[in-house]
Amino acid sequence: MRHATASLEPSAPPTGQGERGVRILVAVVVLALIAVAVVPMVRERNAPIAAAPAWADLAPPAEMPMRTWRWIVVTARRGEAHLRISPTPGDPVRVESLTAWRLQRPVPGYPADAVVISLVSPLDRQCEERLAGLAAEFLRHIPTLAVRQLGADRHAPPAGLDQERLRFLVRERL
């Protein structure tokens, strides 16, 4: 009968064959996760900017007489407005026509002759382009509006909105 005795000598180092495979697998998984995170951002950044809605989609119903609008006010308030630019699953800068616009009524808290556009989405390049296209469409079809009467809400301006740049973008589209 043979008895084994304990030894204080270090054991032989592992050969590393299994560790190398695990390292390669971990590296591949990490690269795949990075690709999954980065590719949608690159696609979104290079995605074409959708045009502003056509006037046929924006015009109030024929039975509603058009008010005499003089101002376009862009606000970050999420409350009542005439139009809202907000993200949806299919469109990150969707323009919604709200009840106050369809009924041609003023929005409480704003001048009675101000079209109020609420920006719910963050102001990025796409949102800025959509906003400029929307404002240009209004200026083409409502003769009482002018580019100089386009501006941000004094009490709740959208973060990052440069009024002069917005006016420049609108002038380019007219």
Could you read off the pLDDT of 32-49 as tens digits, one per residue?
888 777 666 544 444 444
Can you give the pLDDT at residue 135? 94
Contacts of 37 (CB under 8 A, 6+ apart): none
CA 83 to chain CA mean position, Å = 15
pLDDT tens string 93-144: 888 889 999 999 999 999 999 999 999 877 888 888 889 999 999 999 999 9
Does the pLDDT value for residue 148 go beyond 80? yes
Domain range for residue 129? 55-173
Final residue of a structural domain among 47, 63, 87:
47
Percent of the chain's residues with pLDDT above 90: 43
Does the pLDDT value for residue 9 go beyond 60? yes
Please give the Cα distance from 4 to 17 (Å, whole number): 29
The closest alpha carbon to 127, from 155, 150, 101, 161, belongs to: 161
Task: State the alpha helices, DSSP H only, in 47-124.
Answer: 55-58, 99-102
Give the CB-side neighbour count of residue 78, counting CA atoms within 13 A.
Answer: 5
> For residue 12, is it within any domain?
no
Can you give the pLDDT at residue 45? 42
28 and 99 share one domain: no
Maximal CA-CA distance, the chain: 109
Please report the DSSP string for 15-50 in residue order.
Answer: --HHHHHHHHHHHHHHHHHHHHHHHHHHHHHHSPPP
> For residue 3, is it within any domain?
no
41 and 70 share one domain: no
Q: Write the CATH number for 147.
A: 3.40.80
90 and 148 share one domain: yes
> Total structural domains in the chain?
2
69 and 155 share one domain: yes
For residue 141, what are the β-bridge partners? none
Percent of the chain's residues with pLDDT above 70: 81
At 169, which helix (H) or strand (E)? helix 163-173
107 and 40 share one domain: no
Binning pLDDT at 50, 70 and 90, where does residue 165 land?
A: very high
> For residue 2, is it within any domain?
no
43 and 60 share one domain: no
> For residue 7, is it within any domain?
no
Can you give the pLDDT at residue 14? 60
Can you give the pLDDT at residue 138? 94
Does the pLDDT value for residue 60 go beyond 50? yes
Does the pLDDT value for residue 153 go beyond 50? yes
Does the pLDDT value for residue 87 go beyond 50? yes
Strand blocks (E) in the chain: 71-75, 83-86, 94-97, 114-119, 150-152
66 and 116 share one domain: yes
Given CA atoms 131, 133, 134, 135 in this order, what sign does their dihedral have? positive
87 and 68 share one domain: yes
Can you give the pLDDT at residue 27? 86
pLDDT tens string 72-82: 999 999 889 99
